[in-house]
C-alpha cells in the first residue's frame, strides 16, 4: 500500500492496561508506516506514563457517551479503516456519521474486529471471516474478524520493523544505571504478574538457592506485581529473615515504565515473568527465557489457551511444568512449590520460537495487505 489511509481505532480500557497497550502499539506502528490514526479511548490516562511523548501521526480522542465528533474532522478525513478492539462495539453515532460520509463519497471503510491473541486452533478457522451487518445505518456492510496469532494463516504479531538491531547493541549496565540499580553481576529477573499462588514459593526458592546457584536481583514492575511481592513478604516472615541472612535475593521496585523502557527491561534480564497479551509478545521478541502468567478466567478456559501456547512454543518439559504451577491455584494452605528454572533449555526454546516467528510477516503488514485487498 503506497498511500496514507485514515484509521480509526476504538479501545475500551477494561483493566490492567493491556488493551490500551496493544492499541497504542498498533496505532504507533501504523503511523510510523505513513498511516494516519485516530485512537478513540474511554480512559487515556495510562498513556501519560506508557507513551508520554506520543507519536506523530496518532491523535488520541476521548470516547465519551455520546461521542463528540466535533474534533474528528470526519468530513475532511473520513475513515478508510475502522478497528474495534477486543470485542468493543464502535459508538453508534460514529457509525452513523461514517454511513453518511459513505453515501456522499461512495467508499465504505474496511471494518475490522481485532480479536484476542491465542494459539488455539479456532484462530486459523475464524481469521479473516466476514460478518454481515444486518441492520442500522451500516446495514449491508461487513465486519471482518482479524485474529492475531502465531502462524501464517492468522493475523500475526505486533512487531516494529528492524526491532532486533537496537536490541543487539543495547547497553545493559547503562540501562540499569538509569534505573538507579547498582548491579553487581547478579542474575536479573523481571517480575510482571498478577497474584500467582506460587509467588511466595518462588521468592523462597530465590532466597534460599538463587538462580543457577547465583544471587538474584528481582526487578519488580509497579502495580499488582509490586503489591503481590510485598504481600508475600508480609505473610512470610521467615522468608524475609532468610533473604537478609543469605543475601541471595535482592529486590528493586521499578516505577511505571514507558513501553520502550518495559521492552528494555525484558532485554536486560536473564529471566522474564510476564502477564497478559502485550507483554508476552514483547517477551518473545526479547529472546530471553520467560514465563507467562496468563489472564485467569473463572471457567479455567485460560488453561487450554496456555497449553496451546506451550505447544506453539515447543516448550521443553521443564518449561511446561513451571508454567502449569505458575498458573495454578493452590489446592490447600501454603505456597505452591515451583520447580527450579532451567535457563539453558528455556533460552534455546525462546530463541528458536523467535526465529520462527520473525520469519513471518508482522500484524501491521498483514493488516495493510488485508485492507488493500478488501477496499
**Residues with a known catalytic role:** 19, 277
Contact (Cβ atoms closer than 8 angstroms) between residue 21 and residue 223 = no
Give the integer Cα–Cα distance in Å for 57 and 307: 39
Residue 91's contacts (CB-CB under 8 Å, 6 or more residues apart) are 10, 40, 63, 65, 66, 67
Give the integer Cα–Cα distance in Å for 259 and 26: 12
3-class secondary structure, 218: strand
Q: How far, in Å, are 68, 139, 144, 208, 295 from residue 242 at the CA level?
A: 57, 66, 55, 7, 31
Q: Which three three-digit cell numbers place residue 243?
A: 533473604
Q: Which three three-digit cell numbers place residue 279?
A: 507483554
Q: At what angle do helices 237-246 and 199-209 cross, to 10 degrees?
A: 30
Contact (Cβ atoms closer than 8 angstroms) between residue 313 and residue 320 = no
| Burial class of residue 171, CB neighbours in 10 A (0-12, 13-18, 19+) | exposed
**To which residue does cell 475502522 refer?**
82
Q: Which three three-digit cell numbers place residue 292?
A: 507467562
Q: Where are the beta strands (DSSP E) in 28-126?
A: 36-41, 58-62, 81-85, 110-114
Task: Enter the DSSP assignment of 221.
Answer: P
Contact (Cβ atoms closer than 8 angstroms) between residue 293 and residue 275 = yes
Beta bridge partners, 58, equal 37
Give the integer Cα–Cα distance in Å for 272 and 19: 21
Amino acid at each position: 500500500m503506497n498511500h496514507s489511509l485514515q484509521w480509526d481505532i476504538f479501545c475500551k480500557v477494561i483493566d490492567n492496561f493491556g488493551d490500551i497497550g496493544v492499541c497504542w502499539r498498533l496505532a504507533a506502528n501504523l503511523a510510523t508506516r505513513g498511516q494516519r490514526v485516530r485512537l478513540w479511548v474511554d480512559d487515556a490516562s495510562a498513556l501519560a506514563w506508557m507513551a508520554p511523548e506520543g507519536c506523530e501521526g496518532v491523535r488520541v480522542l476521548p470516547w465519551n457517551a455520546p461521542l463528540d465528533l466535533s474534533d474528528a474532522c470526519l468530513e475532511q478525513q473520513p475513515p478508510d479503516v475502522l478497528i474495534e478492539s477486543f470485542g468493543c462495539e464502535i459508538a453508534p453515532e460514529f457509525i452513523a456519521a461514517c454511513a453518511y460520509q459513505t453515501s456522499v463519497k461512495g467508499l465504505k471503510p474496511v471494518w475490522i474486529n481485532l480479536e484476542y491473541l491465542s494459539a488455539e486452533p479456532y484462530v486459523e478457522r475464524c481469521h479473516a471471516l466476514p460478518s454481515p451487518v444486518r441492520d442500522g445505518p451500516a446495514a449491508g456492510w461487513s465486519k471482518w474478524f482479524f485474529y492475531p496469532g502465531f502462524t501464517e494463516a492468522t493475523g500475526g504479531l505486533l512487531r516494529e520493523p528492524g526491532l532486533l538491531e537496537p536490541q543487539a547493541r543495547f547497553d545493559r549496565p547503562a540501562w540499569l544505571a538509569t534505573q538507579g540499580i547498582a548491579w553487581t553481576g547478579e542474575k536479573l529477573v523481571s517480575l510482571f504478574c498478577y497474584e500467582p499462588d506460587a509467588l511466595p514459593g518462588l521468592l523462597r526458592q530465590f532466597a534460599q538457592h538463587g538462580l543457577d546457584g547465583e544471587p538474584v536481583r528481582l526487578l519488580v514492575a509497579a502495580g499488582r506485581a509490586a503489591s503481590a511481592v510485598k504481600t508475600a513478604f508480609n505473610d512470610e516472615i521467615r522468608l524475609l529473615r532468610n533473604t537478609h541472612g543469605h543475601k541471595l535475593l535482592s529486590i528493586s521496585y521499578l516505577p511505571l515504565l514507558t513501553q520502550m523502557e518495559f521492552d528494555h527491561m525484558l532485554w536486560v534480564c536473564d529471566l522474564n515473568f510476564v502477564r497478559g497479551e502485550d507483554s508476552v509478545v514483547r517477551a518473545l521478541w526479547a529472546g530471553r527465557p520467560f514465563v507467562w502468567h496468563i489472564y485467569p478466567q473463572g471457567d479455567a478456559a485460560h488453561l487450554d489457551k496456555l497449553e496451546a501456547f506451550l505447544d506453539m512454543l515447543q516448550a521443553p518439559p521443564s518449561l511446561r511444568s513451571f508454567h502449569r504451577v505458575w498458573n495454578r491455584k493452590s489446592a490447600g494452605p501454603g505456597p505452591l512449590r515451583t520447580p527450579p528454572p532451567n535457563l539453558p533449555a528455556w533460552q534455546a526454546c525462546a530463541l528458536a520460537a523467535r526465529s520462527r516467528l520473525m520469519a513471518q510477516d508482522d500484524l501491521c503488514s498483514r493488516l495493510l495487505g488485508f485492507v488493500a485487498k478488501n477496499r
